[in-house]
Chain A
Amino acid sequence: MSEHAEPQPVPPSSVVLVSGGSRGLGLAIVADLLDRGVRVAAFARTVTPELDKLAAEHPDRLHAGPVDVTDLAAAQAFVRDAEVRLGPIDGLVNNAAIGQDSLHVHTATGDIARIIETNLTAPLQLTRLLVRRMLGQGRRGRIVNITSICAQRGFPGLVAYSATKGGMDAATRSLARELGGRMLVNAVAPGFFASEMSAVLGRTQLDQIVRRTPSGHLTEPAEVVPVVRMLLREQTNINGQVIVVDGAASV
């Protein structure tokens, strides 16, 4: 059977599922897509007041709820409910993840398993769920995996985390091949944010990264959001790529 792309371009996503959409980059992606008129389904372990506020402002275009991404049955139920309310999902942003802040030798084996389950197994299963629905209904779609510069560069204290992000980068490439042009699959790999995960690195390491960054500052979620939007909405032939957003710190 041919593995070559079908000739029609993949249309912009109009209903997008965002995992981990209640705070930080995930919340910023949700808000941005809503601003552009996209319908959004967003879940997170806890629905924050910020996500609740967006839901109140966009009652017809945002479906939000509490789902632990590792709970596949809950994710399936959420997707079904979201599609009843918003229509068929044709975009996925795998953003939900947990961080790490411990040297590998001092990380409990249970914590390593939890990081892998949340950051690698769960997004692969969520992707499978969504791709099955899209393929089964003859839909085309777009997938954006939020990974990390950790997948490409080494940082102490982030061994298991980096392994999961590298795994998602690799899955991005293989899935883009596997889906034969019917879906566009890409990853966005931010550098360290000044907040959240980057608390792991400590002031000295963050200062070193800033000094090494030609653009002179750590990445902000607002600088990543337009790249995610482009991959979901713009007509491009970008597929199977990992786009690094780190001000050239890693170059």
Chain B
Amino acid sequence: MPPTVAGLVQVGLLIAALAVVHRPLGDYMARVYTSTTHLKVERAVYRTARVDPDSEQRWGTYALGVLGFSFVGVAFLYLLQRLQPLLPFDFGRGSVAPGMAFNTAVSFVTNTNWQSYVPETVLGHTVQMVGLTVQNFVSAAVGMAVAVALVRGFVRHRTDRLGNFWVDLVRGVVRILLPLSFVFAIVLVALGVVMSLKSGVTVDGQEVAIAPAASQEAIKELGTNGGGIFNANSAHPFENPNAWSNLIEIFLLLVIPVSLTRTFGTLVGNRKQGYVLLGVMGLIWAAMLTVIWTAEEHGLRPLEGKELRFGVPASALFANSTTGTSTGAVNSMHDSFTGLGGGGAMLNMLFGEMTPGGVGTGLYSILVMAVIAMFLAGLMVGRTPEYLGKKLGRKEVTAAAVSILAMPTVLLVGTGIAAILPSTQGALNNPGSHGLSEILYAYASASNNNGSAFAGITVTNDWFQASLGVCMLLGRFIPIIAVLALAGSLAAQKKVPETAGTLPTTGPLFATLLAGSIVLVAALTFVPALALGPIAEALL
């Protein structure tokens, strides 16, 4: 099969699988978050943790739940890494240095999964399983919980209650992520992914690291996490052995963000509202895939940093999907991509991770952007904007603006400072504009909680460990607080009846407005920075 045809077949299979699965999965997730009954195991969790699952929270308490849970998550994961020598399966890899332990703890709690460490030599199996795998589940479930809380803000009227964070969190883990991960972990083992408690195997006289990869691989993709149990991530044959495992991993990282648009449509009582969001996400995803694929086909060294079993098309497909979903897993090294191809991967993150975005985060990010789009439309016609039967007044638009502006602010400030620090020069792996791209990519990845990298950059000095950690925290939690505040003020409103003057939000006009807002906000914010990095490199 010629490579282009093979690539198109894989894209076709992927889209077909998503088309089949998103309906039942989306509807199932809608039931999960609206069900009034608790499973036995969930009751046991609530009883053990002494929380009341039947009380509902105001937006402030819901937000404090997210913050408190994430805070103890960082502390617990930090301690686990520092105390690694006391844990089993540590293989003498020692206590993780403070800066690296902080960065890694923040990275996994914020669903970023940026890796400043080389797993094979730094982390043992206990930290991987008891620390990182746990955060892979719960950080994903937190994102979904916040998205559901925002949807409740649109659906509910004249209430100050948004639901119960602990219930949304536990249900996301127990009813959605855990069963799917278990099934796909076994599928991945059947396809060749390793699941071993040993530290290495000898291959033709040389020692190659091995690990309990399959259990982590499944949730790594499904929860749009992206932290590999090996340094080469999903490029490592033990994590991603062949074309089929590769296609399944791409499917897994897209399936929940895609299906959540169905969940959204179901919950607001009009499935078209969800499909219009999915249409915009899919359109930008497809456009960016075309850019990255074409650019990589025509590179000077198309196979550098790519695995032969995937080739250029399946590498481009993975790269586009992992950067469009805030996953950050990689099956090829983005640092070796062309100016245009690597710039495309970067732009996917700079859109704010909503094409289709991470689990939950993608949905709430695009809903915030929809609020901005309707506000802009309202300005054009001189009318108070509405969306899904709720007025978008000063409070709502302010919250949306804060949510949108947090990421570019921390990203550009971080990049700017890093670029002028003398120590940065020695940290780069490539000269010229590509070196700047390495810095820009790092802060784009951290601030958008993606986690992929132009991995040639060495980020182990204190500045990078601390500043990237702070970018991950602010890029995650400022939008979350703003989104929950938005949800709170929406829920308090009464429903505005639809009139002849209401702009319909299920048609192509709204889709164009929304897509235009996504592209315009990113373009206005980032063109100057991109011009010095990937654009300069592409035009050289």
The answer to whether A and B come from one shared complex is no
A interface residues, Cβ below 8 angstroms from B: none
